[in-house]
Chains A and B, each alone.
Chain A
Amino acid sequence: MATTTATITLSSLDLLSDELALTTTSTLTNAGGATGVTQASGLSRKTLTYDSDAEIIHTALHRAGDYAADKANKVYIKNTSTTPAEFFIIKVGDESLGRLYAGDWAFFPWSATSGTKETFVVTATGTVAVGESWEFDGITTISASTALNTFAAAVSAQVYPNWTTTVSSAAVTFVARYAASDGVITGDTAITGDVLVESGDGNFTMPITGGTAGAGASSQSDISILPSVRTGMTYETMLIHE
């Protein structure tokens, strides 16, 4: 077990008539116990630059779906800018926490409550011919055999930017990498964005099942930041987690 400590010092000689000299040290432990946290993202540093103000968007620093929910996670974020007017807006989920101006840092707990990842099943059905294909999420799988299960396995073996897969016989289950609403599921038997290229005899289909029951929901607590200017602002962040 690791021993990690966080110490904060707040000090001022003239904020009040009395001196402010607060020091608090906390040993970072797992939720509800004395065992030290053992995992960390490592301190990262990144500069966000955009071509125009219109392109400035919230950037996800830590996605709730990547971590166990409701644990004793801690987040450190710093704005390394030296221009006083430049700030990052920090958000947890939809809610704005506050602004980090030049040199400011924050350290706070994070419950990492995720939403629901969208999921559906696509099943290779009928008779597949060599050369027929199915495309989804920008990835095209071309059949190299006439075996449905082999084609399904090939579909599942692809690396999709936004989905993970598992295969069972001719059925491939897709699960979104991140929780989100308004995904690809449009009904009980349909999704958007898939393209079947079939030889023309109509014997090969890739029907969808799982339907609306697999619809997703937005993550409740992704941590994101929004820079105030497009000309390059740098942040540092570290997540210490269970």
Chain B
Amino acid sequence: MATTTAAITLTSADLLTDALSLSATNTLYKAGSTVGLDQTTGMARVHLTATTVVDIFPQLIEASIAFENKSSWVYICNKSEDETEFITVKICEQVIGKLYAGDFLWMPWSMRESANANNHHGDITVAPSVDTGMSIEFTCINEGTEYPTENLATT
């Protein structure tokens, strides 16, 4: 089994009267166990040149939710250096928030069917604020991946 850790540090000397110095580290385990996660999509870096909403993990769950409610972790980082540029991150059709230049997120992912029965299957999507080119990095570390089956449609 693999040992993968995620650590965060939040620091500020002047956000509050008292210094902020928060640290947390966790080892990534399979759901409800102490067995380490052993699969990942790998770190992707993409350059998006349209403001279209895109599904960043289409290979994981389309039409199948075999790994619903399992342990999956998502990292997304907006690599833009222009402070006005952001990506809007959504799960299903629910906006989570905006990642401005340099911002990142780290969150669990249930891969659950949308609560609104809109066939989104828990998709995580991003939409750049500009079409002039924005780079983002993302990865998913998880328990397993169910790939789409071969497309046998004739052309």
Q: Taking beta carbons and an 8 Å cutoff, which residues of A are in contact with B? A: 2-16, 20, 22, 24, 26-29, 31-34, 36-38, 40, 42-43, 70, 72-74, 76, 78, 84-85, 87, 89-90, 92-101, 103-111, 113, 220-221, 238, 240
Contacts and interface: CB of A to CB of B under 8 A. Distances in A.
B72 to A, nearest CB: 7
B49 interface: no
Given A73-B97, A113-B95, 16 more contacts: A6-B10, A6-B104, A8-B7, A9-B6, A9-B8, A9-B9, A10-B7, A12-B5, A15-B2, A32-B100, A74-B97, A92-B94, A98-B110, A104-B26, A111-B88, A221-B95
8 contacts: A2-B12, A3-B14, A31-B100, A74-B97, A101-B71, A103-B27, A107-B10, A107-B106
B133 to A, nearest CB: 18
A4 to B, nearest CB: 4
A69 to B, nearest CB: 10
B53 to A, nearest CB: 15
B110 A4 contact: no
B107 A107 contact: yes
B22 A238 contact: yes
Contact of B104 (A12, A16, A26): A26
Interface in B94-109: 94-100, 102-109
Contacts of B75: 8, 10, 22
A72 B24 contact: no
Contacts, number: 198
Interface stretch (B28-36, B54-62, B146-154): B28-36
B100 to A, nearest CB: 6
B95 A4 contact: no
Given A101-B32, A108-B97, A111-B97, A34 B6 contact: no
Contact of B14 (A2, A9, A220): A2
B37 A15 contact: yes
Given A27-B102, A76-B22, A94-B116, A8 B6 contact: yes
Contacts of B110: 89, 96-99
A188 to B, nearest CB: 30
Contacts of B104: 6, 8, 24, 26, 107
B18 to A, nearest CB: 9
A98 B109 contact: yes
B64 interface: no
Interface residues of B, number: 64
B96 A110 contact: yes
Q: Is the interface of B mostly helix, strand, loop or mixed?
A: strand
A100 B108 contact: yes
Contact of A101 (B8, B20, B29, B83): B29
B3 A5 contact: no
A70 B77 CA distance: 18
A241 B98 CA distance: 13
Given A8-B75, A95-B91, A105 B8 contact: yes
Given A4-B11, A7-B8, A76-B8, A108 B106 contact: yes
Nearest to A104: B26
A72 B108 CA distance: 20
A220 B115 CA distance: 12
B91 A15 contact: no
Contacts of B83: 29, 32-34
Interface string B72-98: 100101000001101011011011111
